[in-house]
A and B are shown apart, each in its own frame.
Chain A
Amino acid sequence: MTKQPAIELKNITKRFGKVVANKNVNLTAYRGEILSVLGENGSGKTTLMNMISGIYFPDEGHIFIDGKEAVITSPKEAFGYKIGMIHQHFKLVDVFSAAENIVLGIENGKYNLKDSAKEIKKISEQYGFDVDPKKKIYTMSVSEKQTVEIIKVLYRGADILILDEPTAVLTPQETEKLFAILRRMRDDGKCIIIITHKLHEVLSLSDRVSVLRKGEYIGTVNTSETSESELTEMMVGKKIDLNIQRDEPKNTEERLTVNSITCVDKTGTVMLDNVSFSVKSGEILGIAGIAGSGQRELLESIAGLQRLEYGDIFYFDPKTGKKESLRDKNPLQIRQMGVRLSFVPEDRLGMGLVGNMDIVDNMMLRSYSKGHSLFLKRNKPKSLAMKIINDLEVVTPSASTPVRRLSGGNVQKVLVGREISSSPTVLMVAYPVRGLDINSSYMIYNLLNQQKAQGVAIIFVGEDLDVLVELCDRIMVIGSGRVTGVVDARTTTKEEIGLLMTKPKDDGKENGNG
């Protein structure tokens, strides 16, 4: 059987202001195949797919569906062409059931949940989904929500499916399950396009790989004829060593101890349940877990941003050797106690930095209040900004550019640079390489390793298990706010961590009382 092109892109160009997100991209995807679109963050993968699914409109170029030119100006029209996109961030109504979400927004059809449930069941059986149409979204796990998203587009009759980084939030076991489903859909004659930057997934799943770099189309290769190093070279433009350096911890001593803390959010849900652990100087403690298992609350508790219901946090001062409690202290009080605690939060522009302020003003966020003067002193922050721009190779027009104008990698360099500049004794980083290109990611790993060599106790919350296993000394796994295990990163496997991530509570009780 000859392959039928399902979708063809010709000379697609899209600009955002001066930024060229896509430049003369040509791409073809056939029916009955899985095509990976591979590229670093910021290489224009998502923009390209958004143009196919009607969210953006291309400035130049043409899209052909089944050989005919198509004009797609809205997601609805995209559905008309049987194109369905599964976004990285799910677009579901939390208080609705799976079935309600699936039929939501479909016009000229009768609203009949019973019939829909039947239809959903049929689709589920056909491809091996496991979903209860009556289950409410807010009670679902991330992987279940993703399943609903996929069924949603299938229900609408999509036969070109685009998945944007579908494995970013899944455990290794869930990923395998998803891949099996995608393969079944391929064999059913659907055209599947998956956006990703994870090389091993590309190699294990797809038939062909198209690579984008800085918005430009580099080329397409057959998966069976390529290798990890060739793909990296296409992606980055040069050969790159993908190994992360890891030294043995030196001069370790107790630095921070978390003592059975419990923490509850506004609605009364237990976010951290009796969590205990400690970090030593000169080591990197990794924290793994499904997104939303309490990682954020854990770091914020230590940083003084969460109220603790129970438990305590102790800091061991390296100079005096004194043991000090950080419970019920706000970030300012913690700093005034002489605790050099640095924190690179997950939400860089919403918490770590102020997007509309320039680099200089962001440098003094932590230090502006020092001294008795009513007025700000911008000399030191200015020289610090210049130093970070030079040392970390931040690409910016000037130190007075608002940080939101910088690319993700450069924003992170500014934030990490500032946090390291206060020579911390404890450094907490949450998803520090999320959205970064390969070069920036490796620069961040190197910075963390430098800090480790200087005796800093580092807590690293990550999502990419490959990285956690290669970079950290120990890995603590949490699930639903509880510690489900601590493993030696040098001997563990991804699968072991994956199992711990989804390990059910062993005491059987809901929301244990700490």
Chain B
Amino acid sequence: MNARSAAATHSNTPVVSMRHVGKVFPGVIANDDITLDIRPGRVHCLLGENGAGKSTLISILAGMQQPDTGWIEIDGQKVNISSPRSAMDYGIGVVYQHSTLISTMTVLENLMLGVTGGAFLNRESARSRLTEISAMLGVEIDPDAEAADLALGQQQQVEIAKAMWKGSRVLILDEPTSMLAPQAIADLDASVERLTKDGIAVIFITHKLREAYSMGDEVSVLRRGRLVASIDAETLEGLSEEKFTNAVLAAMFGDDISAIGDRNDVELLSGAKVATKVRTKSSRSDEKLVLHLEDVTTPSTPTEFGVSNVSLKLRAGEVVGVAGIDGHGQSALAEVVAGQVRATSGSVFLDGDDVTKLGVRARQELGLRYVTDDRLHEGIVADLSVALNLLLKQIGKLPYWKRGQISKPDVDAEATRLVEAFEIRTPSIHARAGALSGGNIQKLLLARELSHQPTVVVFNKPTYGLDLKTVNRVRKIVKDFAEQGGAVLLISTDLDELVELSDRVAIISRGRLVGEVENNSPDTARQVGEFMVGSAHSEGNHV
């Protein structure tokens, strides 16, 4: 699966070298004295958890940021990568973590965006260039498909084609596998292998250890902006997977490793092991039906799918995962359950009662909660205090509001209790909520939504972008809530997370639920992946 054997045939001289690169953002040292060599024909894996500085390093190489200290050498020459254009001119192509394809344009138009010279669009030459690159990657890409119609794996192939468009010598892949189905990861792996055979250097950023081990020829580990470990090709070849895992985990987390969780948690979180769910009960069909969607449809927008004819049953104590490509109706599903969006047809039942016409607040009273994925904008009021944010949904209610007036002692007491219970790290309960870190904002949201007796909670990408310690904590909260009889609708783009937490995984594509997999075998991820790939291929109609 890896390109280690091919590496020997290419020269060992680095194509790109980073020398003492440092970058400081207000309050954060993103990169600190990083020195790295990238060699042709090899896959260089960059490991580290969220916030370790991987993305900053990449954006420096891509010309999106300028280093504060240090420099970059290409072929031994010191260079100044002042813009994405100049990065391209130096032969550095980047596939970003978030798609940079324009969904309303065709594949060909997206690819031609980087073309310079000539006033008129030259579709024919772009087509033949695409054929060339497709052959190089070993994939087939339909040039006339609209970008929005492609499955995630296909979109990524287009992104790679785009990065290779001008004959790049270095290809940077920023967390390319985080949302891919296992089948698509295999395709990506094959493409990467072909590229390294052609002598192209690949920088592969990931936070999953098993991928770094299987795909990488060289591995570097970042922690808090510093390069804490480098494993060169010869050493890596001699390491067993277990030794590799031990070495990398020690470097990635240092002394914090015990703070994150037990050894098993750490291995799961760092993607060293594949998650499987330990099921406590074989069947939950005898439990009470708490949430029931019947043939629900919501409107679509040109940029985001609504849901169409979705039916779903959720029982007490059950976690139902929803897998799918971002933007395929997940938000609409969450919002139609929460009451933020009205169903144009179909019904939503809560504990057997039709709540289709009820608003957000009325549904909350009935025990339904929604933890949004847009934490900073939808989740909190950034300019209000932590205390007020924690009690945002109790406004006007006793005992926090008495005769229309806020009762400060009661609010502060409850806020202090929640801050302690959920270990929210804040200078004070009166601090601005917007000033908290992403992980603490998420804990604030969980504290707010999980207090006052919820029965059903919708989690939308609950661990996205968080550090592993918080990820572990959030997953525990979800598990505990279900253990205690709560019903969970878990929307996520992280397949590992879905497999770890869910009893069943439903697959959403183009706003429809296209399949459902019982999570009762190690094969779940693959089955879910099949639905994700298959459904995107078979349905051609647009929104």
Does A associate with B in a complex? no
Q: Give A contacts to B, CB under 8 Å.
A: none
Q: Give B contacts to A, CB under 8 Å.
A: none
